[in-house]
Amino acid sequence: MTRIKRLRAMAALIEKDGQYRGDPALVKAKGLLNDTEKIIKNHQENLLTWWTSALRDLVWRQIHMAEAYIVSMLPEPERQHRVAEILYDARLILDRDDPVMSPAPPGPPAPGAGTPSPASSEAAKRAFAYELVRRYREAWDDRYTASRGFRNRLIVLIAAVTFAVAVLIAAGSLGMVWLDLVPKQAHAFLAPHLDDLLAMLTIAIFGAIGGLISGADKVVNVGGVYNPFSLPWYLLFFKIPMGALTGILGVLAIKGNLMPDMHLTMNNWSQLIIWALVFGASQQLITFMVDRHVRSLTTAPQGQVASK
């Protein structure tokens, strides 16, 4: 609603200036803002709309289209100021080679062409402002949609990996996975055993800590970047259960002699914790592709410095 109020104030300034009062583009922009307010007022967000963001997508696209119309019709000083602001913000989204990011200065008139009229100069400035806002906001909306979709995929991955960890812990505690980490009497198959449960929980916890440690830099180094869905935080939440999973699988691989050069002595909890931490941190070798995709969605193009 704050953005809509700001755009309405700009529209009032345009009408006060008088140059574009009654212009079809101004009328359309005000209609878009009215429709957006009705959508916000008459629709309540629920879990489905939060997941799909269909309502937010519609609202943002209508606001951004109205903004393109309104900015292009602002009086010259205000338009210049707003164009400068948008050019600064657009570094987060648009490629530095995009034509609207480096508008060519007006060259000398062609021989015999005469001096450009004020009307043609105003039309060129208006067209540039409209195209800049439109291109920037369309790119913003597209990245917003892509970020939302990837957030949803991360949530599904977090749930799936957490379920896999729970299954392995349950299998270990029921004797389906023979850890033999502590001396005990004959163990009945599918009978719960506290020692195995504690061992599996210990591996999972310290594996998760290893994943947390190896993934913490993704949040610490996020900086001032485009990040509407807090993707680095979702990435960190994904690395925690992933660390638990790789910790469990790594320890099981050692106990199964799949890594003959590595050993885990019975009843040695220090070794167990260390190996769980090491294998938990090694989840970074598996999740680096996810890291790369999140980085592509949250950083400025072509390594540009992005601060906002």
144-191 tens-digit pLDDT: 888 899 999 999 999 999 999 999 998 888 776 666 555 555 555 555
pLDDT of residue 303: 45
- Residue of higher predicted confidence among 306 and 264: 264
Lowest average pLDDT, out of 27-41, 63-77, 183-197, 215-229, goes to 183-197
What is d(CA 264, CA 133) in angstroms, rounded to the nearest whole number?
61
Query: Per-domain residue ranges for the chain?
Result: 2-143, 145-303
pLDDT of residue 257 exceeding 80, the answer is no
Statement: residue 110 has pLDDT above 80 = no
Of 27-36, 88-97, 186-195, 287-296, which one has max mean pLDDT?
27-36
190-222: per-residue pLDDT in tens? Answer: 556 777 788 889 999 999 999 999 888 777 766
- In this prediction the pTM is 0.79
pLDDT digits 0-9 by tens, 238-256: 999 999 999 999 988 887 7
Q: Is the pLDDT of residue 142 over 70?
A: yes
Q: Is the pLDDT of residue 113 over 50?
A: no
pLDDT of residue 266: 58
